[in-house]
């Protein structure tokens, strides 16, 4: 949704972060793979090798130096990825909390962004059901 607001370095880091997030619970679901492909398309990347990603620590370093708005965008988009398969388990939750803490996002921001993503996904589901 908002990935075009990120600079090139942040976009590249985001793709790596999305792979790390998808692997957080040890299972990369088809929905998550589809979301990563959609992220590539949204940012104008024709290809992204999911086996060649930046280390998590490098991603944290990049976002630690980003504008607060971009940190929140990244958090929201990654939450959307983790909710894409319909579940948000404890390992995924721990991943988000760890990432947010390392890039200086407070728990209230994480809670707010999580609530917004849940509302967004509920609306998308409701709209999809209304056209069937």
Residues 62-121 pLDDT 10s: 999 999 999 999 999 999 999 988 888 999 999 999 999 999 999 999 999 999 999 998
| Residue in 22, 90, 27 with CA at minimum distance from that of residue 53 | 22
Residue with tokens 């990603």: 53
| Residue in 79, 80, 74 with CA at minimum distance from that of residue 60 | 74
Q: What is the pTM of this model?
A: 0.89
């Amino acid at each position: 949704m908002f990935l075009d607001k990120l600079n090139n370095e942040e976009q590249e880091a985001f793709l790596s972060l999305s792979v790390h997030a998808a692997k957080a619970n040890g299972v990369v679901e088809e929905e998550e793979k589809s979301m990563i492909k959609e992220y590539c398309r949204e940012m104008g990347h024709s290809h992204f090798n999911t086996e060649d990603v930046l280390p998590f620590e490098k991603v944290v370093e990049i976002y630690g130096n980003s504008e607060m708005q971009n940190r929140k965008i990244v958090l929201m988009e990654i939450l959307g990825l983790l909710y894409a398969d319909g579940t948000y388990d404890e390992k995924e939750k721990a991943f988000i909390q760890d990432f947010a803490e390392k890039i200086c996002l407070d728990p209230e921001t994480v809670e707010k962004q999580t609530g917004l993503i849940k509302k967004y996904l509920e609306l998308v589901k409701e709209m999809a059901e209304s056209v069937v």
